[in-house]
Amino acid sequence: MLRSVPRSAWFDRLYLAYLVVFFLYLALPLLVTAVFAFNDAPFPSLPWQGFTLDWFFADGSDGRTGLFHDDGLLSALWVSVVVAFWVTLLCVAIGCANAILFERLEFRGKELLYLVMLLPLVIPGVILGVSILVFYSGMANQASQQWGIELDVFRPGLPLVIAGQVAFITTLCTLVIAARLRKFDRQLEEAALNLGATPVVAWFTVTLPWLMPSILGAAAMAFLMSFENFNTTVMLTGSDTPLTVALFNRLREGSTPVLNAVALLLMVGSALLAVLAMGRGGKGRSQ
Amino acid sequence: MRPSAGKLSLCLLMAPFVLWIVLLVVLPHLQMLRVSFHVRETWDTVAFGLEQYGNFFSESYYWRTFVRTGVMSLFTTFLTLVIAFPIAWYIARLARGRSKGVLFLACLIPFWASELVRTYGWMILLRESGLFSAILQAVGLADGPVEMLYNDAAVIVGLVYNGLLFMVVPLVTTLDGMDEHIVEAGYDLGGNHWTVLREIILPWAMPGVVSGCIVVFMLTLGSYLTPILMGGKDSAWFTEQIFTQFITRFNWEQGAALGVLLLVLSSVIVWAGLRVTGQNLRKVMG
């Protein structure tokens, strides 16, 4: 099964067929979602009724409300953007600090703490959400019963959604940034120090620029993961629902091509972000 | 650096880590564990007891779903591995130049769309008014609409789809680093495809296999959207029960107990997987 090991012709053909079927399997669900966003029919299913942009732009006058006139979806989209912004900021900041902590410093119990740092990766998302809900809502109840103080930040709502997502996305950011820091040549920093830079200046002029591609990559990943997260978010959301939860609620009522339009928008948006991040990362690597 | 400066920077860098891990991971989980042992006496007093765990074992609906979720997650993980391995092998070892990058990228694309979008796509394909049903009718294989959604097979198709990326990437990474000469040596020494795969390739790929399996298993066990949207009335998932206890019934004590049980199940299986294959968490995840 190597290029240098001879294979029979039928094995090759079978292998090729398998590859084709696999990539079809991979592409099909996304393709149909995208295509039916343009079908001029009230349901995303065959038969094909003709091409339309109604599911994006219709203003509701002929019984169809396109995505860009659907206030519910648009506000959910905005909620998702706000949440993703804060999650990205917090995760990248903590991730940077963690990366330096584990790659550069020596302290007692480092191995153990590193394992603890990895833990959020092996906790199911629903459990992360539930535990944060129990802990903070319990605290809010306690404060309200005993002292009569209303701690609304600890009730289900956007602050808790952000907390829940930060809990596990931080680990991923740490891993991405730490992987690049590990490849950094310490002599560059020492040269800067020898040339008279203070440690802070050396950090900002030498190390940080080196880390930048991984920081941008981690930020893009954090933004996408936050935007797409459902399992943790659904447990912690209050009256302002992020897009995934809003879409889920719509989907349970029944599917319309507006959902396809939203899905297509999400695919295009995240593909653009991914390409952007990869482009920057690629440039960083070739430098 | 002077020792005091070193200490200061250690404290400064340790602070965000400690705040994050303690406030968002450790304390919440300890509290969930505590609440799972709460037994409500009156509206504002609680005692400690095993009532919730008792409910779990006496109510067959709970533990049946629990076992079902575990078994189906293991099966999904195994199926994902079997499907992904030839693909990863092709990308890592057989594809050349550009096609290697393009195929790898093609594996990533579905994951730029969210789980909700992927599941939605499958619903459009599989349901009664969906694409597959229409095609079957058009070519004359079916007389009327065929419902392919809302059964266990549909759930597994969706779950495998969701897990593929997390299996393909670690496999490609480990297989990429393999020295072809040891495989050639295996053939030279008279091994056939099967023995070479079992004795040389699989042991080499083991870190990737284990890390892929752990992530896919975790994601599957903890998934909520796919089983709910693609499964029928009889294909309940354990996360769904946790959600019901918390959000619908407002029975946090019972929900916390179910949450603890799910966490124990996933930890035990991940631990057992690492033990059996001789890997450790740091090696496969970090």
Residues A160-179: tens digit of each pLDDT: 999 999 999 999 999 999 98
The separation between the first and the last C-alpha atoms of chain A, rounded to the nearest angstrom, is 36
B247 vs A235: CB contact, 8 Å cut-off? yes
* CB contact set of B41 (below 8 Å; sequence gap of 6+): B47
Under a CB-based contact definition with an 8 Å cutoff, are residues B206 and B178 in contact? no
The answer to whether the beta carbons of residues A88 and A226 sit under 8 Å apart is: yes
Among residues A277, A281, A103, the alpha carbon closest in space to that of A183 is found at A103
Residues from chain A that touch B225, judged by Cβ atoms under 8 A, are 230-231, 248
Q: How far apart are CA B54 and CA B127, in angstroms?
A: 39
C-alpha angle A147-A152-A156 in degrees, rounded to nearest 5: 125
pLDDT reported for residue A131: 93
* Closest CB to B116 among A116, A247, A271: A247
What is the pLDDT at residue A283? 45
CA of B58 vs chain A CAs: smallest distance (Å): 23
In Å, what is the CA distance from B94 to each residue of A17, A66, B88, B195, B237?
Answer: 15, 46, 10, 19, 39
Residue type at B40?
Answer: R
Given CB atoms, is B27 within the 8 Å cutoff of chain A? Answer: yes
Question: How many Cβ atoms sit within 10 Å of the Cβ of residue B66?
Answer: 18
- Shortest distance, CA A43 to any CA of chain B (angstroms): 9
Phi, psi of B47 (to 5 degrees): -115, 175
Residue B82: Cβ within 10 Å count: 11
Min Cα separation A206/chain B (Å): 18
Which residue is closest to B224 within chain A, CA to CA? A231
Any CB–CB contact under 8 A between B95 and chain A? no
A123-135 residue pLDDT tens: 888 999 999 999 9
Pair A121, B37: CB distance under 8 Å: no
One digit per residue, the tens of pLDDT, for chain B of length 286 reads 455 677 888 888 889 999 999 999 999 999 999 988 888 777 667 778 788 888 888 888 888 889 999 999 999 999 999 999 999 988 888 877 788 888 888 888 777 778 888 888 888 888 877 778 777 877 877 777 777 778 888 899 999 998 888 899 889 888 887 777 787 888 888 777 788 887 788 888 888 898 899 889 988 998 888 898 888 777 788 888 888 888 888 888 888 999 999 999 988 988 888 888 877 777 776 6
Among A23, A113, A118, whose Cβ lies nearest the Cβ of B106? A23
Closest chain B residue to A162 measured between Cα atoms? Answer: B24
B218 and A132: CB-CB below 8 Å?
no
What per-residue string of b and e applies to B102-128 under the rule 16 or more CB within 10 Å gives b?
ebbeebebbbbbbbbbbbbbbbbbbbe
Tokens of B44: 């504002």
Q: Tell the residue number behind the tokens 């294979």, with chain if given.
A: A7
* B contacts of A235 (beta carbons < 8 Å): 243, 246-247
pLDDT at B159: 92
CA angle B124–B119–A63, rounded 5-degree value: 50
Instruction: Tell me the count of A-B CB pairs closer than 8 A.
Output: 247
Cβ-Cβ contacts under 8 Å for A231 (sequence gap 6 or more): A124, A125, A126, A129, B222, B223, B224, B225, B239
Q: Looking at the complex, does the CB of residue B44 fall below 8 Å from at least one CB of chain A?
A: yes
Q: How far is CA A106 from CA A187, A210, B36, in A?
A: 19, 22, 38
pLDDT at B102: 83
Residue appearing with tokens 């083991």: B206
The Cα-based distances of B21 to A95, A108, B262 in angstroms read: 12, 17, 21
pLDDT in the model for residue A287: 33
B169 touching chain A per CB within 8 A: no
The answer to whether B74 faces chain A, any CB pair under 8 Å, is no
Q: Which of B13, B164, B262 sits opposite A124 (nearest CB)?
A: B262
Q: How far is CA B36 from CA A21, A187, B32, B251, B276, in A?
A: 47, 53, 6, 10, 31
Q: Note whether A121 contacts B218, CB cutoff 8 Å.
A: yes
Residues 6+ apart with CB under 8 A from B119: B158, B162, B225, B226, B229, B230
Nearest to A163 among B24, B86, B117 (CB): B24
**Given an 8 Å threshold on Cβ–Cβ distance, is A231 in contact with B224?**
yes
B187 near A CB under 8 A: yes
Question: How distant is the Cα of B282 from the closest Cα of chain A, in angstroms?
Answer: 7
Q: Please report the pLDDT score of residue B62 as a whole number.
A: 87
- At B227 the three-state DSSP class reads helix
Residues of A in contact with B65 (CB under 8 A): none
Place of tokens 């990308």: B91
**Inter-chain touch A33–B35, beta carbons under 8 Å:** no
Q: Evaluate whether B18 touches A126 at the Cβ level (below 8 Å).
A: no
Beta-strand ranges (E) seen in chain A are: none
B259 closest CB neighbour out of A19, A105, A127: A127
Q: Please say if the pLDDT value at position A280 is more than 70.
A: no
Q: CB B243 to CB A266 under 8 A? A: no
CA neighbours closer than 13 Å in the CB half-sphere of residue A248 = 22
Burial category of B52 from C-beta neighbours within 10 Å (exposed 0-12, middle 13-18, buried 19 and up): buried
Beta carbons within 8 Å of A243's beta carbon, 6+ residues apart: A73, A76, A77, A79, A80, A227, A262, A266
Q: How confident is the model at residue A271 (pLDDT cuts 50, 70, 90)?
A: confident
User: Which residue matches tokens 């950090």?
Assistant: A203
Answer yes or no: do B247 and A228 touch at CB < 8 A. Answer: no
At residue A210 the predicted structure's pLDDT band, cuts being 50, 70 and 90, is confident
> What's the distance, Cα to Cα, between the start and end of chain B in Å?
28
Identify the pLDDT of residue A285: 41
Check whether A2 has a pLDDT greater than 90: no
- For residue B84, give the chain A residue with the closest CA: A22
Q: Angle at Cα A153 formed by Cα A149 and Cα A156, nearest 5°? A: 115
pLDDT interval class at A284 (50, 70, 90):
very low
**Complex confidence, ipTM:** 0.85
- Nearest Cβ partner for B187 among A5, A244, A251: A5
